[in-house]
Structure 1
Amino acid sequence: MTAERGGSKLTQWTIHGERVVDESRRLRLSIASVELPDGVRFEQYVMRMRKAAMMVVLNGDDVLMIWRHRFIVDRWVWELPGGYVDPNEQPAVTAAREVEEETGWRPRDVRPLVSMQPNIGNADAENLMFVATSAEWIGEPEDINEAERVDWVPLATVRERIEHGEIIGAASQVGLLHVLAFPPR
């Protein structure tokens, strides 16, 4: 298949089919039969996940984050709050709901920030990032299993926390670095 950009033809890979290996309500794992433009064929694992929505919640020079253990990589890390978008739910509503459930804070002035695919080479896992420039305390988090602690982290420490491996999630890094590079107005 070819497409055009700026007057030149772009050649795309051809997908000859995809067979499902496993499927749940949050994930579908399959194997795609792929052909490259030069005719070489191979199989590629493909993971398709539900959309996720996350939020950068700011309070002056601080950002709301959660400290949690991620068992897959066996690490304690700082992350932005977020979760999977429920069917028929708007992603901004998901992001705000997840902030409340995970932190006990209700974000205000929610706006879209950026959309990203953290592992585009073999996964379709769109992450929709939102930003809020303030929040109000509504009470203790609903889900005590989400985080060991919730804290307002100084934005000035984000780069150092990334360098020290405290913030390793791609979506958290993208959201934080985005607001540092392009502060919301």
Structure 2
Amino acid sequence: MSDPAAEPIALYDAAGHQIGTLARGEVYARSLWHGSAGVLLRSVDGTRVHVHRRADTKLVMPGVHDCVAGGVVDPGETPAQTAARELAEELGVRGVELTPVLSRAWESGPGPGLGGPQGLRCHLFAFEARWDGPVVTQASEVAESWWMPVDELRARLADPAWPFAPDSRILAEWWLARL
């Protein structure tokens, strides 16, 4: 298995434009702008959201809960291509329509599992998909996963003791406020 910190990722400027390529570990250590795209997977009837716990071996935010299958934008990829790739890799879901729902800049600030001393600086590109088929997770990305009723996700996000990926929280809270 390759070293994830050595993998090249797309480097962004503060305005959200791809400007080059750099190793993931260096981007994180220096708190440089990069892009991340992900998919909130809902049941076809919209009553459930797919939730997972991130693998404990992830470079950032290991072991926390998440409701977005996603990852960093690779060199030469568009955010939509990244979202489709990540959905297929992490949850085994392919061939679904991806609807863009949110795009915004995000800075985490410092903290454990959040990159370098200044934290992470990322342009988030979020999509939604509907799916009732099988979900087949990738062990290196996902420790466990399940479908959660929308109301339960809302209640869990309101509990500060429930460890949840802060970048995905932005999408989830934005999305839940519009239901």
TM-score range, shorter chain: 0.5 to 0.7
Match of 2:168 among 169, 172, 176: 172
Secondary structure of the corresponding residue to residue 144 of structure 1: coil
Aligned-residue identity in percent: 24
- Structure 1 counterpart of 2:51: 65
2: CA distance, partners of 1:171 / 1:29 = 15
- Structure 2 counterpart of 1:39: none
- Relative contact order (C-alpha < 8 Å, sep 6+): which is higher? 2
TM-score (norm 1): 0.64
Structure with a larger share of its residues in strand? 1
Written as runs of structure 1 = structure 2, the 5 A alignment for 1:149-160 is 149-160=144-155
Query: 1:120: Cα distance to partner?
Result: 6.7
Structure 1 residue 99 corresponds to structure 2 residue 87 = yes
Cα displacement string for residues 45-82 of structure 1 (whole angstroms, at most 9, x for unaligned residues): x6114211011111121112222245666754234210
Cα displacement string for residues 14-59 of structure 1 (whole angstroms, at most 9, x for unaligned residues): xxxxxxxxx95124378xxxxxxxxxxxxxxx61142110111111
- Contact 2:64–2:164, Cα closer than 8 Å, also in 1: no
Greater mean deviation of Cα atoms: 154-163 or 66-75: 66-75
1: CA distance, partners of 2:95 / 2:173 = 20
Query: 1:91: Cα distance to partner?
Result: 0.7
Gaps of 5+ in 1: 1-22, 31-45
Written as runs of structure 1 = structure 2, the 5 A alignment for 1:47-126 is 47-59=31-43, 60-70=46-56, 75-106=63-94, 108-119=96-107, 123-126=120-123
2: CA distance, partners of 1:120 / 1:161 = 21
Q: In structure 1, give the amino acid aligned to 2:169.
A: Q
- Contact 1:167–1:173, Cα closer than 8 Å, also in 2: no
TM-score (norm 2): 0.66
- Contact 2:67–2:172, Cα closer than 8 Å, also in 1: no
Say how many residue pairs are matched: 144
- Structure 2 counterpart of 1:137: 133
- Contact 2:108–2:166, Cα closer than 8 Å, also in 1: no
Structure 1 residue 182 corresponds to structure 2 residue 178 = yes
- Structure 2 counterpart of 1:162: 157
Query: 1:94: Cα distance to partner?
Result: 0.8
- Structure 1 counterpart of 2:23: 25
2: CA distance, partners of 1:116 / 1:53 = 11
Query: 1:167: Cα distance to partner?
Result: 4.8
- Contact 2:35–2:123, Cα closer than 8 Å, also in 1: yes
Secondary structure of the corresponding residue to residue 31 of structure 2: strand
- Contact 2:53–2:143, Cα closer than 8 Å, also in 1: yes
Q: In structure 2, give the amino acid aligned to 1:64.
A: H
Superposition CA RMSD, Å: 2.9
